[in-house]
Amino acid sequence: DRKKRSFESRTSVTNHPLARKLFEIMSSKKTNLCVAADVTTSAELISLAEKVGPHICLLKTHIDILTDFSKETVESLKELAATHNFMLFEDRKFGDIGSTVASQYSGGAYNIVDWAELVTVHGLPGDGIIKGLMSAINGRPRGCVLVSEMSSSGALTSQEYVSGCCKIAENHTYFVIGFVSQSNVSSDPRFILLTPGVQLDKSVDGLGQQYVTPRAAVLERGADIIIVGRGIREAEDPEAAAIKYKEEAFSAYLERIEA
Ligand code: 5FU
Protein backbone atom coordinates (compact mmCIF):
# COMPACT_ATOMS: atom_id res chain seq x y z
CA ASP A 1 0.00 0.00 0.00
CA ARG A 2 1.43 3.35 -1.12
CA LYS A 3 0.48 5.25 2.02
CA LYS A 4 2.32 2.89 4.34
CA ARG A 5 5.61 2.85 2.48
CA SER A 6 8.61 5.13 2.88
CA PHE A 7 9.74 7.25 -0.06
CA GLU A 8 13.07 5.46 0.16
CA SER A 9 11.49 2.02 -0.24
CA ARG A 10 9.36 3.25 -3.16
CA THR A 11 12.50 4.24 -5.08
CA SER A 12 13.02 0.62 -6.06
CA VAL A 13 9.43 -0.11 -7.18
CA THR A 14 9.36 2.48 -9.94
CA ASN A 15 11.39 2.25 -13.09
CA HIS A 16 10.86 5.86 -14.06
CA PRO A 17 14.20 7.68 -13.57
CA LEU A 18 12.52 10.93 -12.49
CA ALA A 19 10.21 9.23 -9.99
CA ARG A 20 13.34 7.63 -8.54
CA LYS A 21 15.12 10.98 -8.49
CA LEU A 22 12.16 12.61 -6.73
CA PHE A 23 11.94 9.84 -4.10
CA GLU A 24 15.68 10.22 -3.49
CA ILE A 25 15.42 13.98 -3.09
CA MET A 26 12.50 13.61 -0.68
CA SER A 27 14.33 11.01 1.42
CA SER A 28 17.67 12.78 1.54
CA LYS A 29 16.39 16.34 2.05
CA LYS A 30 13.54 15.15 4.27
CA THR A 31 11.02 17.25 2.43
CA ASN A 32 7.75 16.57 0.66
CA LEU A 33 7.07 20.23 0.01
CA CYS A 34 6.49 21.69 -3.44
CA VAL A 35 6.33 25.48 -3.61
CA ALA A 36 4.02 27.07 -6.19
CA ALA A 37 6.12 30.00 -7.42
CA ASP A 38 3.29 32.02 -8.92
CA VAL A 39 5.12 35.35 -9.30
CA THR A 40 5.13 37.65 -12.30
CA THR A 41 8.78 38.70 -12.71
CA SER A 42 11.97 36.69 -13.21
CA ALA A 43 13.65 38.53 -10.33
CA GLU A 44 10.88 37.52 -7.92
CA LEU A 45 10.96 33.95 -9.23
CA ILE A 46 14.73 33.59 -8.77
CA SER A 47 14.63 35.26 -5.37
CA LEU A 48 11.84 32.96 -4.16
CA ALA A 49 13.66 29.88 -5.52
CA GLU A 50 16.82 30.93 -3.66
CA LYS A 51 14.93 31.30 -0.39
CA VAL A 52 12.89 28.12 -0.50
CA GLY A 53 15.30 25.98 -2.56
CA PRO A 54 16.95 24.21 0.39
CA HIS A 55 13.54 23.17 1.75
CA ILE A 56 11.67 21.84 -1.29
CA CYS A 57 11.67 18.79 -3.52
CA LEU A 58 9.89 20.57 -6.40
CA LEU A 59 9.51 24.13 -7.61
CA LYS A 60 6.22 24.47 -9.44
CA THR A 61 6.01 27.24 -12.01
CA HIS A 62 3.38 28.90 -14.19
CA ILE A 63 5.97 30.19 -16.61
CA ASP A 64 3.38 32.01 -18.74
CA ILE A 65 2.55 34.50 -15.97
CA LEU A 66 6.04 36.02 -16.12
CA THR A 67 6.08 39.44 -17.80
CA ASP A 68 9.78 39.18 -18.64
CA PHE A 69 10.46 35.53 -19.49
CA SER A 70 13.84 34.87 -21.11
CA LYS A 71 16.27 32.01 -21.61
CA GLU A 72 18.32 33.44 -18.75
CA THR A 73 15.36 32.95 -16.42
CA VAL A 74 15.36 29.21 -16.98
CA GLU A 75 19.17 29.03 -16.92
CA SER A 76 19.11 30.58 -13.44
CA LEU A 77 16.33 28.25 -12.34
CA LYS A 78 18.24 25.21 -13.62
CA GLU A 79 21.35 26.32 -11.72
CA LEU A 80 19.38 26.78 -8.51
CA ALA A 81 17.71 23.41 -8.97
CA ALA A 82 21.15 21.78 -9.29
CA THR A 83 22.63 23.68 -6.34
CA HIS A 84 19.76 22.97 -3.96
CA ASN A 85 18.72 19.60 -5.37
CA PHE A 86 15.13 20.20 -6.39
CA MET A 87 13.29 19.60 -9.64
CA LEU A 88 11.51 22.04 -11.97
CA PHE A 89 7.83 21.31 -12.42
CA GLU A 90 5.84 23.38 -14.92
CA ASP A 91 2.14 23.37 -14.12
CA ARG A 92 1.15 23.75 -17.78
CA LYS A 93 -1.94 21.53 -17.49
CA PHE A 94 -1.71 20.42 -21.10
CA GLY A 95 -5.22 19.57 -22.29
CA ASP A 96 -5.37 19.28 -26.07
CA ILE A 97 -4.92 16.65 -28.77
CA GLY A 98 -1.53 14.95 -29.05
CA SER A 99 -0.36 16.88 -32.10
CA THR A 100 -1.09 20.26 -30.50
CA VAL A 101 0.43 19.49 -27.10
CA ALA A 102 3.62 18.28 -28.81
CA SER A 103 4.07 21.79 -30.26
CA GLN A 104 3.07 23.49 -27.02
CA TYR A 105 5.58 21.37 -25.08
CA SER A 106 8.59 21.83 -27.31
CA GLY A 107 7.91 25.06 -29.15
CA GLY A 108 6.59 28.55 -28.63
CA ALA A 109 8.27 31.10 -26.42
CA TYR A 110 8.83 28.78 -23.47
CA ASN A 111 10.19 25.50 -24.89
CA ILE A 112 8.98 23.80 -21.71
CA VAL A 113 10.43 20.38 -22.51
CA ASP A 114 13.90 21.90 -22.56
CA TRP A 115 13.95 22.87 -18.88
CA ALA A 116 10.98 21.37 -16.96
CA GLU A 117 11.63 17.78 -15.97
CA LEU A 118 8.00 17.41 -14.94
CA VAL A 119 4.76 18.92 -16.24
CA THR A 120 1.06 18.61 -15.43
CA VAL A 121 -1.34 17.08 -17.93
CA HIS A 122 -5.14 16.69 -18.03
CA GLY A 123 -6.47 13.20 -18.76
CA LEU A 124 -9.52 14.68 -20.50
CA PRO A 125 -8.35 14.17 -24.13
CA GLY A 126 -7.48 10.50 -23.54
CA ASP A 127 -4.07 8.88 -23.84
CA GLY A 128 -3.16 10.48 -27.18
CA ILE A 129 -2.05 13.42 -25.08
CA ILE A 130 0.65 11.25 -23.51
CA LYS A 131 1.79 10.00 -26.89
CA GLY A 132 1.89 13.57 -28.23
CA LEU A 133 4.02 14.81 -25.34
CA MET A 134 6.30 11.79 -25.56
CA SER A 135 6.90 12.52 -29.24
CA ALA A 136 8.57 15.81 -28.23
CA ILE A 137 11.02 14.65 -25.56
CA ASN A 138 13.75 13.41 -27.87
CA GLY A 139 15.35 10.96 -25.49
CA ARG A 140 15.53 13.37 -22.55
CA PRO A 141 14.37 12.10 -19.15
CA ARG A 142 10.96 13.71 -18.74
CA GLY A 143 7.74 12.85 -16.95
CA CYS A 144 4.28 14.09 -16.17
CA VAL A 145 1.72 14.22 -13.42
CA LEU A 146 -1.93 13.68 -14.38
CA VAL A 147 -4.44 16.11 -12.91
CA SER A 148 -7.01 13.61 -11.64
CA GLU A 149 -8.85 15.89 -9.20
CA MET A 150 -8.76 19.63 -8.61
CA SER A 151 -8.83 21.61 -5.39
CA SER A 152 -11.35 24.16 -6.61
CA SER A 153 -14.97 24.09 -5.57
CA GLY A 154 -17.30 22.51 -8.10
CA ALA A 155 -14.51 20.66 -9.92
CA LEU A 156 -16.02 18.31 -12.51
CA THR A 157 -13.65 15.42 -11.80
CA SER A 158 -16.05 12.55 -11.05
CA GLN A 159 -15.08 9.10 -9.77
CA GLU A 160 -15.34 7.82 -13.32
CA TYR A 161 -12.96 10.53 -14.52
CA VAL A 162 -10.49 9.67 -11.76
CA SER A 163 -10.51 5.98 -12.66
CA GLY A 164 -10.00 6.90 -16.32
CA CYS A 165 -6.92 8.91 -15.31
CA CYS A 166 -5.64 5.94 -13.29
CA LYS A 167 -5.96 3.71 -16.36
CA ILE A 168 -3.97 6.16 -18.47
CA ALA A 169 -1.27 6.29 -15.80
CA GLU A 170 -1.06 2.51 -15.48
CA ASN A 171 -0.71 2.13 -19.24
CA HIS A 172 1.99 4.81 -19.52
CA THR A 173 4.27 4.38 -16.52
CA TYR A 174 7.28 5.29 -18.63
CA PHE A 175 5.94 8.87 -18.68
CA VAL A 176 3.32 9.32 -15.94
CA ILE A 177 4.86 9.43 -12.45
CA GLY A 178 1.76 10.33 -10.44
CA PHE A 179 -1.29 12.47 -9.92
CA VAL A 180 -2.48 15.83 -8.77
CA SER A 181 -5.24 14.75 -6.43
CA GLN A 182 -7.42 15.59 -3.46
CA SER A 183 -7.93 12.02 -2.25
CA ASN A 184 -6.25 8.64 -2.22
CA VAL A 185 -6.74 8.08 -5.96
CA SER A 186 -4.15 5.27 -6.14
CA SER A 187 -2.60 2.81 -3.71
CA ASP A 188 0.09 1.87 -6.25
CA PRO A 189 3.45 2.75 -4.60
CA ARG A 190 4.93 3.71 -7.96
CA PHE A 191 2.66 6.74 -8.25
CA ILE A 192 3.35 9.98 -6.42
CA LEU A 193 0.32 11.97 -5.23
CA LEU A 194 0.62 15.75 -5.16
CA THR A 195 -2.02 17.81 -3.40
CA PRO A 196 -2.54 21.56 -3.92
CA GLY A 197 -4.95 23.69 -1.92
CA VAL A 198 -2.84 23.63 1.23
CA GLN A 199 -2.63 26.52 3.66
CA LEU A 200 -2.46 26.88 7.43
CA ASP A 201 -4.36 30.14 7.96
CA LYS A 202 -7.11 30.14 5.36
CA SER A 203 -9.85 27.82 4.13
CA VAL A 204 -10.84 29.57 0.87
CA ASP A 205 -9.49 32.36 -1.35
CA GLY A 206 -12.74 33.84 -2.65
CA LEU A 207 -12.12 32.58 -6.21
CA GLY A 208 -12.91 28.91 -5.77
CA GLN A 209 -9.71 27.70 -4.15
CA GLN A 210 -10.26 25.48 -1.09
CA TYR A 211 -7.56 24.77 1.49
CA VAL A 212 -6.73 22.02 3.93
CA THR A 213 -3.80 21.91 6.35
CA PRO A 214 -0.57 20.04 5.53
CA ARG A 215 -1.49 17.36 8.09
CA ALA A 216 -4.95 16.84 6.60
CA ALA A 217 -3.49 16.70 3.08
CA VAL A 218 -1.02 13.97 4.06
CA LEU A 219 -3.03 12.01 6.63
CA GLU A 220 -6.60 12.36 5.33
CA ARG A 221 -6.20 13.07 1.61
CA GLY A 222 -3.30 10.70 1.01
CA ALA A 223 -0.87 13.30 -0.34
CA ASP A 224 2.77 12.33 -0.78
CA ILE A 225 3.71 15.92 -1.65
CA ILE A 226 1.93 19.10 -0.62
CA ILE A 227 1.83 22.06 -2.99
CA VAL A 228 1.84 25.44 -1.26
CA GLY A 229 1.70 28.82 -2.98
CA ARG A 230 0.35 31.85 -1.18
CA GLY A 231 0.78 30.30 2.27
CA ILE A 232 4.52 30.59 1.73
CA ARG A 233 4.89 33.30 -0.90
CA GLU A 234 2.78 35.86 0.91
CA ALA A 235 4.21 35.12 4.34
CA GLU A 236 6.31 37.85 5.93
CA ASP A 237 9.28 35.48 5.86
CA PRO A 238 8.83 32.96 3.00
CA GLU A 239 11.85 30.91 4.01
CA ALA A 240 10.59 30.52 7.59
CA ALA A 241 7.15 29.64 6.23
CA ALA A 242 8.66 27.04 3.89
CA ILE A 243 10.43 25.43 6.85
CA LYS A 244 7.18 25.36 8.81
CA TYR A 245 5.17 23.76 5.98
CA LYS A 246 8.01 21.32 5.28
CA GLU A 247 8.19 20.19 8.89
CA GLU A 248 4.40 19.84 9.21
CA ALA A 249 4.11 17.81 6.02
CA PHE A 250 7.15 15.61 6.62
CA SER A 251 6.20 14.78 10.20
CA ALA A 252 2.69 13.88 9.02
CA TYR A 253 4.29 11.59 6.42
CA LEU A 254 6.48 9.93 9.07
CA GLU A 255 3.41 9.44 11.25
CA ARG A 256 1.59 7.86 8.32
CA ILE A 257 4.29 5.32 7.45
CA GLU A 258 4.94 4.44 11.09
CA ALA A 259 1.26 3.98 12.00
F1 5FU B 1 -4.26 21.22 -10.27
C2 5FU B 1 -4.30 22.20 -9.40
C3 5FU B 1 -5.38 22.28 -8.49
O4 5FU B 1 -6.27 21.44 -8.44
N5 5FU B 1 -5.35 23.31 -7.59
C6 5FU B 1 -4.36 24.24 -7.56
O7 5FU B 1 -4.39 25.15 -6.73
C8 5FU B 1 -3.29 23.14 -9.36
N9 5FU B 1 -3.30 24.14 -8.44
C10 5FU B 1 -2.16 25.09 -8.45
O11 5FU B 1 -1.55 25.09 -7.16
C12 5FU B 1 -2.53 26.52 -8.75
O13 5FU B 1 -2.41 26.76 -10.13
C14 5FU B 1 -1.50 27.30 -7.95
O15 5FU B 1 -0.31 27.42 -8.70
C16 5FU B 1 -1.20 26.41 -6.76
C17 5FU B 1 -1.96 26.75 -5.50
O18 5FU B 1 -1.61 28.02 -5.04
P19 5FU B 1 -2.12 28.60 -3.63
O20 5FU B 1 -1.57 30.00 -3.62
O21 5FU B 1 -1.49 27.73 -2.56
O22 5FU B 1 -3.61 28.56 -3.62
Query: Closest Cα to atom 18, ligand 1: which residue?
Result: 229
Which atom of ligand 1 is least distant from the CA of 149? 4
How far out from the chain centre does Cα 121 lie? 11
User: What pLDDT does residue 259 have?
Assistant: 83
pLDDT above 90 covers a percentage of the chain that reads 100
Which atom of ligand 1 is least distant from the CA of 230? 20
Averaged confidence pLDDT in the chain = 98
Query: Is 237 in the active site?
Result: no
Please pick, among 96, 114, 188, 205, the residue that the annotation labels catalytic. Answer: 96
Q: Quick check: 136 pLDDT over 90?
A: yes
Instruction: Please indicate, yes or no, whether the overall pTM of this predicted structure exceeds 0.80.
Output: yes
For the stretch 10-66, pLDDT in tens is: 999 999 999 999 999 999 999 999 999 999 999 999 999 999 999 999 999 999 999
User: What pLDDT does residue 192 have?
Assistant: 98
What is the mean pLDDT of the segment spanning 97-112?
Answer: 97
Which residues lie across from 88 on neighbouring strands?
59
For the stretch 155-200, pLDDT in tens is: 999 999 999 999 999 999 999 999 999 999 999 999 999 999 999 9
Probe residue for ligand 1, chosen from 144, 151, 198, 233 as the CB with the greatest number of ligand atoms within 8 Å: 151
Gap between the Cα atoms of 19 and 27, Å rounded: 12
Neighbouring C-beta atoms of residue 171, cutoff 10 Å: 12
**HEC per residue, the chain:** CHHHCCHHHHCCCCCCHHHHHHHHHHHHHCCCEEEECCCCCHHHHHHHHHHHHHHCCEEEECHHHCCCCCHHHHHHHHHHHHHHCCEEEEEEEECCCHHHHHHHHHCCCCCHHHHCCEEEEECCCCCHHHHHHHCCCCCCCCEEEEECCCCCCCCCCCHHHHHHHHHHHHHCCCCEEEEECCCCCCCCCCCEEEECCECCCCCECCCCCECECHHHHHHCCCCCEEEECHHHHCCCCHHHHHHHHHHHHHHHHHHHHHC
Gap between the Cα atoms of 255 and 10, Å rounded: 17
Gap between the Cα atoms of 27 and 4, Å rounded: 15
